[in-house]
Amino acid sequence: MNILQSSNLTSLLLLSDIEVGKHLYWELNDITFHGQVLVVSSLVMILIFIFSLLGSLNNNLIPHRWQNFMEIIIEFIKDIVAGQLGDSSYRPWFPFIGTLFLFILGCNWAGAIIPWKLIKLSEGEFGAPTNDINTTVALSLLTSFMYFYAGLSTKGFGYFKRYIEPTPLLLPINILEDFTKPLSLSFRLFGNILADELTVSVLTLLVPLVIPLPVMCLGIFASSVQALIFSTLAGAYIAEALEAH
């Protein structure tokens, strides 16, 4: 009985050592940089650039393996964007939503696939950039800026008439809606990615090498779904800003 209690106490102590939101920070001239975000997101962008380069060099009528791989990805993203904006108006927004999807997917997978826990740092730790609330808020604010730009570029300042349609009584609710959109985008992505990494960390301590592997596979799937949801909602918000009513 004492041995069992001691084992349970040890497990609880190990679980208490798991830190949430511990990141690598750099200080330069009184400016704080999120080293984890800069390093891992730079790695993601470099990999996206390399895959894009491999898929676009030496294009042939009969696609080679990298070209075929890139065409599959482009067709998938096209279906996402066209599904929200329509076949006639999706092209101007394809680069933005496509880049958003690939970047978020790469960041999510970087946390789900790469064993960052094996890299020991004196302070902080590496992980998915999207498990940092600053990254997800920045992506959400960028999305908000783009759908405001979409509305203003097509309707001018008449875009703001939507705040008082169909009745001026809806003005507070319509304004509140524009605040809740980036909040929901950022916290949904941040919460899901952080929860996935925390779950894998806990299970690795409790049942090493048995349970974590299926959970990691599930995490890869969930990470892909989160990238799809974020980019789909971004397309839906832009489509809402572009439509007449």
* pLDDT tens profile 10-59: 443 343 344 445 666 777 777 777 777 888 889 999 999 998 888 888 77
Q: How far apart are CA 129 and CA 149, in angstroms?
A: 26
Residue 102 — very low, low, confident or very high, per pLDDT cuts 50/70/90?
very high
Range of the domain at 79: 25-242
- Whether residue 218 is contained in a domain is answered as yes
* Mean pLDDT, all residues of the chain: 78
- Whether residue 18 is contained in a domain is answered as no
- Whether residue 191 is contained in a domain is answered as yes
Give the whole-number percent of the chain exceeding pLDDT 70: 79
The strand pairing partners of 28, in sequence order, are 31
- Whether residue 99 is contained in a domain is answered as yes
pTM reported for the whole predicted model = 0.81
215-221: long-range contacts, CB 8 A cutoff, minimum separation 24: 216/112, 216/113, 219/112, 220/109, 220/112, 220/113
Number of separate domains in the chain: 1
124 φ, ψ (degrees, to nearest 5) = 75, -175
- Whether residue 59 is contained in a domain is answered as yes
Q: Which amino acid is at 134?
A: N
- Whether residue 10 is contained in a domain is answered as no
Cα-based distances in Å from 58 to 47, 65, 76 = 19, 11, 22
Task: With CA atoms as reference, report the closest residue to 242 among 122, 150, 114, 117.
Answer: 150
